[in-house]
Amino acid sequence: MIARTRSSVIATFTALAASAASIAPAGAAPAGAAPAKAAPTGTTPAPGPDADGRAKAAAHFKQGQAFFQRGDYDRALTEYQAAFELSAEPLLVFNIALCHDRANRPEQALEDFRRYLAQAPNGPVADEARDDVARLTPIVDKLVADRAAAQAAEAARQHEAAATHPARPPQVPDRPSRVPRYVMVAGGVAVLVGATAHVLAWRTRDRLANTSDADTYYSDRESFGLERGVAIGGYAVGAATIATGLVLGLVMRPRGLEVSVSPTAGGATVAVGWSR
């Protein structure tokens, strides 16, 4: 929390009369002192908000004062900001700065104290605002320096970590080639064609055994020969194609593929297994 070395000045409106004829600033003295006097009636007020706007601004200001006295600085700030938007009274900027100061937000407080001095360099609380600027400037400078040092240290840490542990390129998982699969599917189709021709050849053979017509016999015998040839060719081509697909699978096998060959009495048994 930022401690103030003297009593805080809470800027106030001095002419919140029932007629709301003007909104003129003056400084509120420390607790126990007499309230600020209203501006002389002969003074010509500067152009400002209409009566309705002044009344609303006064209501927000009064509520802000109540929140500030209770230590609820964020809600007080909201009320002061609403009053400022309605009245454009520079003293409300000073009050906003005080809220930030009491809420331990030195950077925002310094910005608003400077904003007040830019709007009212000869205002009733200009001297106090200058004192606040002088008090907060080294605090804010240190905060900015500490933040920059922390960011530099974090950047250095990240750079060191990157140099010690360089980023690895993304690992592309090995994918099994689909070519062996396509080849084996083609072999299966050839075997299926051979099996179909084999079934047709059986039927043709049955007709040959039961026919008595010479023309039909010779015609069916030709069909039988053709069908048997297609069956034998389909089996042969299919088996060769499937074997080719297995060989390709061995050559282009993915990780985790296991192939075992066991000799048998009639040939060999091939077992293929893989893990994902």
Taking residues 180-185, what's their average pLDDT? 80
pLDDT recorded at residue 20: 37
CATH superfamily of 11-31+47-147: Tetratricopeptide repeat domain (1.25.40.10)
**pLDDT class for 2, splitting at 50, 70, 90?**
very low
User: For 26-35, 69-78, 87-96, which range has the lowest pLDDT when averaged over its residues?
Assistant: 26-35
Residue 91 half-sphere exposure toward CB, CA atoms < 13 A: 19
14 pLDDT more than 60: no
**pLDDT class for 116, splitting at 50, 70, 90?**
very high
Q: Phi and psi dihedrals of 271, rounded to 5?
A: -115, 130
Q: Please provide the size of the chain in residues.
A: 276
Higher-pLDDT residue of 110 and 226 is 110
pLDDT recorded at residue 187: 79
pLDDT recorded at residue 259: 58
Per residue in 31-55, pLDDT (tens digit) is 322 223 333 333 344 455 678 888 9
Taking residues 76-85, what's their average pLDDT? 96
The model's pTM is 0.49
202 pLDDT more than 60: yes
Name the residue with tokens 């077992």.
271
What are the residue boundaries of the structural domains of the chain, listed by start? 11-31+47-147, 197-273
**pLDDT class for 80, splitting at 50, 70, 90?**
very high
Per residue in 121-173, pLDDT (tens digit) is 999 999 999 999 999 999 999 999 999 999 999 999 988 888 887 767 676 66
Task: Transcribe the chain into DSSP letters.
Answer: -PPPSSPPP-EEES---TT-----EEEPPSTTSPPPPPPPTTS-PPS---HHHHHHHHHHHHHHHHHHHTT-HHHHHHHHHHHHHHH--HHHHHHHHHHHHHTT-HHHHHHHHHHHHHH-TTSTTHHHHHHHHHHHHHHHHHHHHHHHHHHHHHHHHHHHHHHHSPPPPPPPPP---SHHHHHHHHHHHHHHHHHHHHHHHHHHHHHHHH---HHHHHHHHHHHHHHHHHHHHHHHHHHHHHHHHHHHHHHT--TT-EEEEEEETTEEEEEEE---
CA distances from 270 to 243, 250, 256, 259 (A): 10, 12, 17, 7
Higher-pLDDT residue of 130 and 255 is 130
pLDDT recorded at residue 181: 78
